[in-house]
Amino acid sequence: MWQPVLTISGYILGILGLIMLIPAGFDIWQGGAVWSPFLAAATASMFFGFSLFLSNNTKFERIGVKQAYLVTTISWLWVCVFAAVPFYLYGVVSSPADAWFEAMSGLTGTGATIISDVEALPQPILLWRSLLNGIGGLGVVIFAVALLPILGIGGMQMFQRENSDSNDKFMPKFSYIAKRIVAVYLTLIGVCCAVYIFCGMGWFDAVNHAISVIGTGGFSTKNNSIESFNSLPIELWTMLFMLCGAVPMTSYILFIRGAPADRNRQIATLLKIVGYCGLALAFYLYFVNESSFFNALRQGYFTVIATVTTTGLTSCDYIKWGGWATSLILLLSLCGGCTGSTSGSIKIFRWQVVFAFLRKSLVSAIETNRVILMKIGSINLSEKVSVSVFVYLFSFFISLTLLTLLVSLNGYDFATSFAAVMACITNVGMGAVESIGPRGNYAFFAPEVKCILTFAMFLGRLEVITVMVVFSKSFWRR
């Protein structure tokens, strides 16, 4: 059972080491260090990773369900540990807990940080933070479309429909999906970067923000995020590219192949949520906060898109808007983008299943003898899919509750505890209270609480159940 798991995990770890050579080369090119800390971290990562890969390498065409769970959990944990090493060696964090928090935040696309002055960081570290957003975003998409259908978590079996022309063997299917997703992903980053440069952003900021935006990660090279540029074109393009990152990567492939437009109804629902909620928030800011209508639209839509897509970039301090606005933002963080995108949180598809089940239940309550199908668009939903979605939702909210209680036990008030856990488990990053909002950070939390929040990010990004299953007793019974 362990050979395929260690082979894949070792390969991923080795690739991480190779990617570390990018900031290492940039560091040496800048003349910042003769022996870059990134070289030490890259050497360790490649040594352990490729040693595992070569010592366990074996031919296999598919992996079992247990192996899929193990590959997912072990790979993310190992990658996060090694990704944290440069932060510690560079001295930008004071403890391993801080380094682990920052690395996990980057890889899970959460965007939460314990660093109070981002602009004071060395450029190689800023680049590494952005690369973690990019690595995590790409890894999440491949995880969602290649492994989650095997695991059957939260209705992810639906993704098998989108790749029905590939065969049932794991490795050919994985290769088929991964190559196309990587091409789409890199193309979007390249286009986004070029647009930013055209809008007047410096090349270094453009590269970092392009990776962060498409990966819906939220790390910025500026303390005040996108607001620092004070540019309407940059904000408008950022909104567009955040939405691009929240769209299923497979939808771009299907579009190129000429698939029917109604095959994925998530995108239409995403645009409706953004449209209605952005307009509602704009009217609130206009009438209650007495903002100009143009600024209300600009700030309202940016904040809604950043929250729904779980990117977490900011163009203003929304905490100052009052209780109704922050409550709406908190609720929108539970939405998430489309399944198969780089976004975090619960995802639109699962909410579509919930409302489809609700519609069926309301009709059945009146017309008891009528046979009613659960449908999303033209797709019929099986009972298995709806059950898996409700199990996921139950696990998600139980985890949210328990983790909030754990943080509260360390002496933090309920609002701060709940907002922090919510921001981390949904991978939004920005919290609904001032201390961890657009102008705050997570540095004030105790080391043990940072570890809890790091686990919350990990739990949320791996769809909760994946982690629960691996840590359950039944998983290890023969």
Q: Which residues, at least 6 apart from 61, have a Cβ–Cβ distance to it below 8 Å? A: 169, 170, 171, 172
Question: At which residue do the structure tokens 């950022």 appear?
Answer: 238
Asked if pLDDT for residue 264 goes beyond 80, the answer is: no
- The confidence score (pLDDT) of residue 238 equals 97
Asked if pLDDT for residue 175 goes beyond 70, the answer is: no
Question: Domain map of the chain by residue range?
Answer: 378-476
Spatial separation of the C-alpha atoms in residues 219 and 225, rounded to whole Å: 8
Can you give the pTM of this predicted structure?
0.90
The string of DSSP codes covering 148-211 is HHHHTGGGGGGHHHHTTTS-S-HHHHHHHHHHHHHHHHHHHHHHHHHHHHHTT--HHHHHHHHH
- The confidence score (pLDDT) of residue 52 equals 87
When the pLDDT of each residue in the chain is averaged and rounded to a whole number, the result is 86
Share of the chain above pLDDT 90, in %: 55
- The confidence score (pLDDT) of residue 139 equals 80
Spatial separation of the C-alpha atoms in residues 245 and 141, rounded to whole Å: 10
b/e 37-49 (16+ beta carbons within 10 angstroms → b):
bbbebbeebbebb
CB 462 within 8 A of CB 77: no
Spatial separation of the C-alpha atoms in residues 117 and 222, rounded to whole Å: 8
| 85-141 confidence digits (pLDDT tens) | 999 988 888 899 999 999 999 999 999 999 999 999 999 999 999 999 999 888 877
CB 307 within 8 A of CB 212: no
Q: What are phi and psi of 181, to 5 degrees?
A: -65, -45
Strand, helix or coil at 75? helix
What residues does 376 pair with on adjacent strands? Answer: 379
Strand, helix or coil at 348? helix
- The confidence score (pLDDT) of residue 168 equals 41
The model's confidence at residue 160, banded by pLDDT at 50, 70 and 90, is very low
Question: At which residue do the structure tokens 């992810």 appear?
Answer: 156
CB 135 within 8 A of CB 19: yes
Asked if pLDDT for residue 337 goes beyond 60, the answer is: yes
Least confident of 51-60, 70-79, 206-215, 300-309: 51-60
What's the mean pLDDT in 181-197?
94
Asked if pLDDT for residue 158 goes beyond 50, the answer is: no
The model's confidence at residue 9, banded by pLDDT at 50, 70 and 90, is confident
CA 138: distance to chain centroid?
9
Of 132, 399, 430, 176, the C-alpha closest to 307 is: 430
Asked if pLDDT for residue 223 goes beyond 90, the answer is: yes
Least confident of 70-79, 136-145, 309-318: 136-145
| 270-315 confidence digits (pLDDT tens) | 999 999 999 999 999 999 887 889 999 999 999 999 999 999 999 9
User: How many CA atoms lie less than 13 Å away from 404 in the CB half-sphere?
Assistant: 17
b/e 60-86 (16+ beta carbons within 10 angstroms → b):
eeebeeebbbbbbbbbbebbbbbbbbb
- The confidence score (pLDDT) of residue 163 equals 38
Share of the chain above pLDDT 70, in %: 89
Asked if pLDDT for residue 169 goes beyond 60, the answer is: no
Task: Kindly compute the dihedral angle of the four CA atoms of residues 119, 120, 126, 130, in this order, to the nearest 10 degrees.
Answer: -40
CB 246 within 8 A of CB 343: yes
The model's confidence at residue 245, banded by pLDDT at 50, 70 and 90, is very high
Q: Whats the size of the chain, residue-wise?
A: 478
| 410-444 confidence digits (pLDDT tens) | 999 999 999 999 999 999 999 889 999 999 999 99
Q: Which is higher by pLDDT, 394 or 368?
A: 394
Asked if pLDDT for residue 263 goes beyond 70, the answer is: no
Spatial separation of the C-alpha atoms in residues 177 and 72, rounded to whole Å: 17
Q: What angle do CA 10, 450, 210 make, to 5 degrees?
A: 60
| 377-418 confidence digits (pLDDT tens) | 777 777 888 888 899 999 999 999 999 999 999 999 999 999
Q: Looking at residue 351, what DSSP letter applies?
A: H
Q: What are phi and psi of 380, to 5 degrees?
A: -80, 135
What distances in angstroms separate CA 60 from CA 5, 147, 173, one per listed residue?
A: 11, 15, 12
